[in-house]
Amino acid sequence: MTDPEWTRKFQITTRDLKHGDSWRLEFDENLVDVRQKPGWKKCIVHTGARFRCSKCSRGWSSNMVMVVCHLQLRNGEGVVKVRPSCQKCKECSEAPMEKPSIPSDNIFPLMNNLVQKIRVKCYNENLEQKKKHFRNFDGNKPHEPAHCEAFIVTTGTDRMAQPEWMSIFQIKTNDLPEEDSWRLQFDDNIVPDSPNSGWKQYIRNTSAWFKCTSCGRGWPSNKVMVLFNMRLTKREGVVKVRAFRQNCKKCSAAPMEKPTITPENIDILLENLMKKIRIKCYHEDLGEAQTPYQTLEVKSPHEPAHCEACIAGYCSQSS
């Protein structure tokens, strides 16, 4: 990744913006995802890149490289500040954060997606979102949030128990109105049909794996209830989420175990959640169609006696 290449492709993609306006691109190591200065707009774009550890020389690729962008247009002069997020080697102790090497053929779709954000956020154009797809690297291992600068910054150490949820949630909420901030909380005390005053409810089923902490047995389920409560007040949005548990049918007095939901199904859950937020909190008419979740191969039927939601009488309420 070289600054001149980014600048050249940025200039090419901004040629079709409003005639008479000038735009420039700057790299700023001080940018963070969670806050921008007054008068600036924020957006996040993603791409694929390679990394190399400066300690052990190990290389790896990632298809989840976040690029934070802050935008400002004033008196016909536009500025975009960008900062690609770093990652560190999982093999080295106290490994430094390494900058990504983004290939040339991924810079162009990144710039095109950025210009689309400029049109929406700085020129108030009503565009149908059509993201340019970047080239994916062959990734035979899942993304590791604990070694990713972007997710460490956006989730904080107190939330690292659910990094995949937090990171995907941050990505999804980037397309909600920018003047509103949204955060995700895990709350095992919320129950269906009993949201607090001013809160909206959304219930959805998904698939997940469970593992018994007593005997080590694992099992899949295609009937895992996930409950969301949401509220937007004074430009601050909160989503509370609870994934219901199951316990082992082989063990006596088996403890309830939390589900392990794949990143693909977390993405689907949160994509459907964003649609519900737009309907329930922003009063948009988007219809009722939802993306179906990816099912698992399950050889035995659902067992209500071992399902936390069924025991409480909630399971029939989800879909």
Mind spelling out the 3-state secondary structure of 114-183? HHHHHHHHCCCCCCCCCCCCCCCCCCCCCCCHHHEHHHHHHHCHHHCCCHHHHHHHHHHHCCCCCCCEEE
Ranges 101-105, 286-290, 291-295: which has the least confidence: 286-290
| pLDDT higher than threshold 60 for residue 103 | yes
State yes or no: pLDDT of 275 exceeds 90.
yes
- Distance, in Å, from the CA atom of 115 to the CA atom of 112, rounded to the nearest integer, reads 5
Residue 132 has pLDDT above 50, yes or no: yes
pLDDT band at 142 (very low <50, low <70, confident <90, very high): low
Q: Which two tokens stand for residue 101?
A: 């090497």
Q: What is the structure's pLDDT at 41?
A: 87
* Residue 155 in this model has a pLDDT that exceeds 50: no
Q: What angle do CA 23, 27, 29 make, to 5 degrees?
A: 145
Residue 159 has pLDDT above 60, yes or no: no
The set of residues, in sequence order, having a beta carbon less than 8 Å from that of 36 and lying 6+ positions away, is 42, 70
Is the predicted pLDDT of residue 162 greater than 50, yes or no?
yes
pLDDT confidence of residue 86: 92
Question: For 221-250, how does the pLDDT look when each residue is reduced to its tens digit (9 = 90+)?
Answer: 999 999 999 999 988 999 999 999 999 999
pLDDT band at 316 (very low <50, low <70, confident <90, very high): low
Where helices occur in the chain by DSSP H, the ranges are 3-13, 104-121, 149-155, 163-173, 263-280, 308-311
**What is the percentage of the chain residues whose pLDDT exceeds 70?**
89
Over range 111-132, report the average pLDDT.
83
Provide the pLDDT confidence category of residue 164 given band limits of 50, 70 and 90: confident
Q: How high is the mean pLDDT of the chain?
A: 86
3-state SS class at 248: coil
Residues 33-79 have pLDDT tens digits of 556 678 888 887 888 999 999 999 999 998 888 888 999 999 999 99
Judge whether residue 151 has pLDDT over 50: yes
**Residue 271 pLDDT > 70:** yes
The pLDDT-based confidence of 149 (bands split at 50, 70, 90) is confident
